[in-house]
Structures are given as structure tokens and as C-alpha cells.
Amino acid sequence: MTASNLNLLLSPAQIANLPLKNHMVMAPLTRSRAGQGDVPTSTVVEYYRQRASAGLIITEGSQVSAQGKGYMRTPGIFTNEQIAGWKHVTDAVHAEGGRIFLQLWHVGRLSHSLVQIDNQLPVAPSAIKADGEIYTPEGLKPYESPRALSLHEIPGVIADFRQGAENAKRAGFDGVEIHGANGYLIDQFLRDGTNTRTDSYGGSAENRARFLKEVVESVIEVFGASRVGVRLSPIFNYFSMSDSDPQATFNYAAKMLSRYGLAYIHVVEVGAGSFDFRELKRRFAGTYIANGGYDAERAETSLREGNADLVSFGTAFLANPDLVERFEQGVALNDADPTTFYQGEERGYTDYPTMAQIR
């Protein structure tokens, strides 16, 4: 599809009171390039600066506490050094005229005692082990059975999200996205395959959505609802994630989130099983960002048909720092190198060529 046929995708957009250069969002992408102390480095700064032509950048997930960490070298947002590192990122993106939200993250059970303080077990809504393995300081290890959070501990985790938002504000972010997707802690609370609690955070869809609700309420006290988004993934099925009725669960979550006047919901539209994403969009009275293998043509079609308000691109932005310009000019895209997704320092990170460098 030529640029002349991408009228909506490439046209200016707006999220609440925040103007965007186009309808293209850079999706959050874990890259494992943080430095000592999980601090964003100068290379991280350059990576985001290169991609500032996106209408909105949503950063890789950033753990809101030491407990929230799962993977090696992922950046945090809970120490002064991490805040300072992210401030260099936001300054660079803003200098290029870009907009950037930080993704607030707690991995829950998708961690390992080898990356936790004092080798404590990871936490989750229920003590249910995830399938799969995780890289640790001692190499690849199976996921462990997590420890179920006690009722009195939950307010402390919610407070960590609020503090993460406070820290993101100090770092100069335009807003934050709450990571409620991809099998991490909030998603673990939402789905009945990982949440078998019998207290006020388990059982009904309303109870299972309570943790998300309280996190949202704590974060919007910091940024205001119009600068807070939520990411959801109704049929994401990695890490043995499941729900007995995902349509009902996530329809409820979307309707509940609709009450707050949030900036957006950001929905991963891939996974196992059938799901009516248009119905989900109808339940949420606000901006709907679609994600999941979109190319330029499909994105434009989805915008035209009213099935999305913005579209996010992951791997395409990873491999093409000038993705917007390539769409504008109808130029072929760089191929991504999966071997460098989570390793390689500058290689496969800041060295993907722009159109100008190829010519």
C-alpha cells in the first residue's frame, strides 16, 4: 500500500488532551539492554530517540519494585538511578518531538528466586506454577511454584504501582501504561486459570478484576486518567495462561475501565481461541489501540472500518527506526534478527539502518 493510501494511519491523532504526530504507536518490547542496577544506559537512550517519529512510544515493561522483576537486565522504575536513566530517554524523545509513556510492570509468578531479593519465591494471586523456563544468573531454569500473596500484602503491591507512576512523572514521561497483559501479575489476577482465590480478589469476574481496578485508581491519582492506559491480552496463552470464559472476563474488565476516562486500552489481539475484539472495543468508551501482527495495509483498513483508533507495531519498529518514514514513502522494511531480540548490545538494537543510511 502506498503512502497516498495510508491517509488515516499517517495523519495526526490525539489521545485525550495529548496530540500525536500520527496514528502509529510503538508497542512495548522487552530488549534486556539495561545496565548495572537495571538502569537505562546511553544505548537505551539512542534506541528510543531513533524511533521518536512514532505518534506514541510505549516503553518496554519496567518493574515497579525489586519483587516485580522477572528477566535479566530489564529496566526498573523504583530507584533514583533508574529514574535518572529514564530522564535521559524522555529528554531525547521530547527533543525529537516525540511522545512517550512508561509501561509499569510486575511479572508476578514469571520470575525466579535467583533474581529475587534474598532468593525469595516469586509471588502470584495463587500458588500455581507456570509452564516454561526463564533465564537466570545460573542459566535457564524452570519456573518455580510461586507464593500466593496474602490479603494484607496486596495493598503494598498496589502502592508499588503508584510509586512507579510517581517516579515515571519525575522522569518526564507523558503518561504511563499499566501492564495488565501477557501473563504477568495483573493478568494472573484477571484469569481464573491462574486465580483460584476465595477472598475478595477471586471467584467472580468482578473480584478477579479488583486488583486491576485498584492499581488503576492508585495510578490515576498521580497522572490523571487521561494520561494512563492499560494493556490487555484476552486470549494470550503462553506460560499456561487460560480462562474459562475470556469474553465475559475481559468484557467486564473493559466496561469497568471505561468508567475512569482513561487514555486508552491497548489490546493484544493474538492467542488461542476465538474472541470478539469488536465487542471488547464497544465495551470501552475511549481510545482502542490494536496490536498483533499488523502491517500498514491492515492497520489502515482497521482504522477506516472503526475497529481501532490507533495501531501499535512491535517487531516492525524494532527493526525499522524510521518505520513511519518508510510507510510514508512506500519503502521496503528491514528484516528483524530474532537472535538479537534479548541480547547483542548495539547489534540488533541501535544499528538497524535507516533509509538514508542504505542509500
Q: Could you please report the per-residue DSSP string of 152-206?
A: TTHHHHHHHHHHHHHHHHHTT-SEEEEE--TTSHHHHHH-TTT----STTSSSHH
3 falls within a domain: no
> Looking at residues 159-178, what average pLDDT do you find?
98
- 235 has a pLDDT exceeding 50: yes
- The dihedral built from the CA positions of residue 29, 241, 176 and 314, taken in this order, carries a sign that is positive
202-229: pLDDT as tens digits: 999 999 999 999 999 999 999 999 999 9
How many independent structural domains does the chain possess?
1
pLDDT at 359 over 90: no
Domain housing 126? 13-357
Band of residue 1 on the pLDDT scale cut at 50, 70, 90 = very low
pLDDT for the residue numbered 156: 98
Query: What is the rounded end-to-end Cα distance, in angstroms, of the chain?
Result: 22
Q: Known catalytic residues?
A: 184
CATH code at 243? 3.20.20.70
Q: What is the mean pLDDT of the chain?
A: 97
The percentage of the chain sitting over the pLDDT mark of 90, rounded to a whole number, equals: 96
**How high is the pLDDT of residue 5?**
82
Residue pair 233/182 in contact (Cβ under 8 Å)? The answer is yes
The DSSP bridge pattern shows strands 139-142 and 133-136 to be antiparallel
Count of CB atoms within 10 A of residue 257's CB?
A: 27
115: in domain: yes
pLDDT given at position 257: 98
| Residue 2: band (very low, low, confident or very high) from pLDDT cuts 50, 70, 90 | low
Residue 100 located in a structural domain: yes
Rounded to an integer, the average pLDDT of 312-329 is 97
Percent pLDDT > 70 in the chain is: 99
In a domain, 1, yes or no: no
Examine residue 6 and state whether it is found in any structural domain, yes or no: no
8 located within any domain: no
Quick one: average pLDDT of 291-319?
A: 97
**For residue 184, what pLDDT is reported?**
98
Which pLDDT belongs to residue 3? 58
pLDDT-derived band at 331, boundaries 50, 70, 90:
very high
Q: Is 281 helix (H, G, I), strand (E, B) or coil?
A: helix
